[in-house]
Amino acid sequence: MTENQHRYSLRALCRCLQVSRNSFYYQLQLTSKKTDKELSKKVKAVSNDNYQSYGTRRLQVALRKKSILLSRRRIARIMQENGLVSKYTCKKYRANTEQSNESTVSNELNREFTVGQQRK
């Protein structure tokens, strides 16, 4: 039916084959669900190969290198359905307490930093 759909209307094709249009569209949905399962396997494989550290943008690039074209939103939907979450790390803050500023910078301008009287 899909091969001749550009020549004839879907209504005429369904009448000729004695198939309801609902069943035709239902069959299309089933095939798209099958492809979603295959794509989810591929997304899981790429995610696991990269230690689950890739988000949607980097997964899209990695999948494109394997000639699998998917949008970021579709990858995000597949990740959400399968419970895939990218691991991320934050840069840890360390206070620099080894050196104090007074020992490295000398008072070259000879300023006096003592207060003579209190503010009112």
Residue with tokens 């934050």, as numbered in its chain = 90
For 20, the domain range is 10-89
* Separation between Cα atoms, residue 79 and residue 58, nearest integer Å: 13
51 found inside a domain: yes
Highest mean pLDDT among 16-20, 32-36, 55-59: 55-59
Summarize the confidence of residues 16-39 as an average pLDDT. Answer: 87
pTM over 0.95: no
Instruction: Name the 3-class secondary structure at 7.
Output: coil
Instruction: Name the 3-class secondary structure at 38.
Output: helix
58 found inside a domain: yes
* Separation between Cα atoms, residue 64 and residue 30, nearest integer Å: 25
Number of independent structural domains in the chain: 1
pLDDT of res. 113: 72
Summarize the confidence of residues 54-68 as an average pLDDT. Answer: 95
pLDDT of res. 40: 94
54 found inside a domain: yes
44 found inside a domain: yes
